[in-house]
Amino acid sequence: MFLKSQLSLITTYRIDLYGRWLLNLFAVMLYVALWSVTSGDVADTYKLVAYFSLYYGVLNNIHSSKVAVWIGQAINSGELNNFLIKPVYFPLLQIIRGLAAVLVRIMVPVLIIGLGSVFLPQAFAPLSPINFLAFVFFTILGFLIWNMMIVSVGMIAFLGTEITATLTTLDLVINLAKGAYIPAFFFPLVVTRGLSYTFIPYLASYPIKLYQEPIVWSEFGFGLTIALVWLVIFSLMAVYSYKVGLKRYEAAGG
């Protein structure tokens, strides 16, 4: 249902989606051009092309704050009442709605990366099929972590009327730390080690590393453990904040 709705939006408002794809393409070209200056090595440039293509073409698109915005709007407008009388779990419904939008956004970037893997494998192709599967696995895991966190942020709307400032600050801080502007493989070792205990690298930089570099299985196991711990933490936060917020909402009369 949601996917059909998103496809309908494309046919009606195509310029919005085209604009997003062009913006992503511009970001890839800009950051590749900026960072390729630091090295004249063609292999390094190819690595940057793959890094930013995966980041802005796929990973950045699946980490949308829209779920929090939709939750906040539903709470503040009273639309949440429509879901309380139905046997549906409201936060999960918003995540599914967001997933439909994500699938539409990444269609063209995934196609470009796929074609690039065939015609320019030194830049776009994963190191091996195992690397590709590991990348896909952590991409899905990162999507779940992000959405559990963003659902918790959306629940702030139970306490106030505005979550935009919180979302903007969160996006700026996390984007900087997950390698949106500076390639994560340029981070100092001490920064990389510190971030490895947070959820941030498992949203983008670590999946990209799995795509591009030989897998160190001990590191993979450590990353998987940390990522799963954060998924559990954010899931518990999301469930708890929804239950507490709902009691507050119902007490106030919806």
Residue 142's pLDDT is what?
96
Helix H segments across the chain? 2-12, 14-36, 42-54, 60-62, 66-77, 81-84, 90-105, 107-119, 121-124, 129-154, 164-177, 189-195, 205-212, 217-251
pLDDT along the chain (254 residues), means of 10: 53 69 91 84 90 95 88 84 73 85 87 95 95 97 95 84 80 90 93 96 96 96 97 94 83 58
Instruction: Report CA-CA distances (Å) from 187 to 177, 190, 208.
Output: 9, 8, 14
Residue 2's pLDDT is what?
46
Q: What is the CA radius of gyration of the chain?
A: 19
Helix axes 14-36, 90-105, angle to 10 degrees: 70
Residue pair 234/159 in contact by the 8 Å Cβ criterion: no
Q: Domain range holding 49?
A: 2-251
Give the DSSP letter of residue 163.
Answer: -
Instruction: Report CA-CA distances (Å) from 28 to 24, 45, 58, 118.
Output: 6, 12, 12, 19
Residue 18's pLDDT is what?
76
Residue 6's pLDDT is what?
52
Residue 80's pLDDT is what?
84
- 3-state DSSP call for residue 127? coil
Q: How many domains does the chain have?
A: 1
In whole angstroms, give the CA distance from residue 95 to residue 193. 31
Q: Is the dihedral of CA 210, 215, 219, 223 positive or negative?
A: positive
